[in-house]
Amino acid sequence: MMPSAKPPKHLKMRAPHVPVPEPARDLGPPKIEIRSLNFYYGELQSLRNINMSLADHSISAFIGPSGCGKSTLLRVLNRMYGLYPNQRAEGEVLIGGRDILGSAVDVAELRYRVGMVFQKPTPFPMSVFDNVAFGLRLGGGIRGAELKSRVESALRDAAIWDEVKDKLHADGRSLSGGQQQRVCIARAIAVKPEVLLLDEPTAALDPISTLRVEETLQALREKYCIVVVTHNLQQAARVSNVTGFMFMGELVEIGPSSQIFTSPKDRRTDDYITGRFG
Ligand SMILES: Nc1ncnc2c1ncn2[C@@H]1O[C@H](COP(=O)(O)OP(=O)(O)OP(=O)(O)O)[C@@H](O)[C@H]1O
Ligand SMILES: [Mg+2]
């Protein structure tokens, strides 16, 4: 889906190329609920009393200046910080109604429920097929015809099937950056996660590949709860239903993207989206 034309007047004044944001839909029950979340790297507190609910079947974007805590927020949602001894989260994070911060949580299972895509495409050193089949073989013991069909449908959902169907056995690293990123998205969704996290997924891509990845996200919106961090404000406006602005570890405000980009409530959000700082 191409972004539609004509920005509203006030938005046009701010950033001429920002298209009309998706209207907020009736977003249904929350998939992710975060209450009183604080996060620490040793002594340094990098998330401060975060409270929010993120809906299923929608795209939530997080924006904010470098170092404000966007990646840290994603690292909490899949417990990646747990790999490091001096990093800790306090508060409550529920995904699908289940606590993910507790010590009883099966972190390996959580990573199947919560997929992650990084800024730099990270294909494994193996074929396109094996990249996408990786989690299915490892966690699901899926083989044979079922495996083939799951790989194909993940590649189709990630809008990359037509480009790779004749080179499924080529090394994943031989694809273009934009293709690699969509294979990584296919790999993440192949195991049918509940939530898909993407940390600046197009920052390393050219404009055409960026558009392809954005189209992929639009197509996936119906099936997943997608959380994307981006420095590209036009991108947040184009793809997301909801946008949250973070600043110095705080969630300053979150709301329908159309509202955040046209009439933010907080002065700091306004300053950021109009380019006065950040
Ligand atoms: N491994 C770490 N150890 C110590 N401090 C860290 C670590 N990772 C991040 N921080 C600090 O936590 C804060 C938030 O960092 P984070 O990476 O979440 O920011 P960000 O919003 O993703 O920034 P960027 O837009 O540059 O990616 C920063 O002050 C950063 O220096
Ligand atoms: Mg970051």
| d(C-alpha 62, C-alpha 73), whole Å | 9
To the nearest whole number, what is the mean pLDDT of the chain?
A: 90
Chain centroid to Cα 48, Å, comes to 21
Contact between 241 and 62 (Cβ < 8 Å): no
pLDDT at 29: 77
> Is ligand 1 within 6 A of the CB of residue 266?
no
Which band of pLDDT confidence, cut at 50, 70 and 90, is reported for residue 37? very high
pLDDT average, residue stretch 244-269? 97
Distance from the CA of 65 to the center of ligand 2, in angstroms?
Answer: 9
Contact between 185 and 174 (Cβ < 8 Å): no
> Is ligand 1 within 6 A of the CB of residue 216?
no
Burial call 157-191: b when 16+ CB within 10 Å, e when fewer? bbbbbebbeeebeeebeebeebbbbbbbbbbbbbb
> Is ligand 1 within 6 A of the CB of residue 119?
no
Atom of ligand 1 nearest to the CA of 68: 21
Neighbours of ion ligand 2 (CB under 5 A): 71
Contact between 213 and 183 (Cβ < 8 Å): no
> Is ligand 1 within 6 A of the CB of residue 208?
no
Quick check: 1 pLDDT over 80? Answer: no
Atom of ligand 1 nearest to the CA of 249: 14
Quick check: 39 pLDDT over 90? Answer: yes
> Is ligand 1 within 6 A of the CB of residue 66?
yes
Contact between 241 and 227 (Cβ < 8 Å): no
Question: Which residue, by CA, sits nearest to atom 19 of ligand 1?
Answer: 67
pLDDT at 6: 44
CA-CA-CA-CA torsion for 54, 60, 65, 66, nearest 10 degrees?
90
Q: Which ligand is nearest to the CA of 47?
A: 1
Mutate to test the pocket of ligand 1, among 45, 62, 71, 229 (most ligand atoms within 8 A of CB): 71
Quick check: 15 pLDDT over 60? Answer: no
pLDDT at 139: 80
Which band of pLDDT confidence, cut at 50, 70 and 90, is reported for residue 83? confident
| d(C-alpha 117, C-alpha 61), whole Å | 14
Q: How far apart are the first and last CA of the chain?
A: 30
Question: What are the tens digits of pLDDT across the range 123-132?
Answer: 999 999 999 9
DSSP state of 169: T
Distance from the CA of 73 to the center of ligand 1, in angstroms?
Answer: 10
Atom of ligand 1 nearest to the CA of 64: 21
DSSP state of 19: P
pTM of the model: 0.90
Q: Which amino acid is at 206?
A: D
pLDDT at 25: 53
Question: Which residue, by CA, sits nearest to atom 30 of ligand 1?
Answer: 67
pLDDT at 77: 97
Comparing 20 with 120, the larger pLDDT belongs to 120
In order of their start, the domains of the chain are: 30-273 (3.40.50.300)
Chain centroid to Cα 221, Å, comes to 11
Question: What are the tens digits of pLDDT across the range 131-157?
Answer: 999 999 988 789 999 999 999 999 999
pLDDT at 26: 58
Q: Which residues pair with 52 in a beta bridge?
A: 34
Q: Which amino acid is at 269?
A: T
Give me the helix-helix angle, 144-157 and 128-140, nearest 10°. 120
Which band of pLDDT confidence, cut at 50, 70 and 90, is reported for residue 55? very high
Give the count of alpha carbons within 13 A of 160, CB side only.
Answer: 32
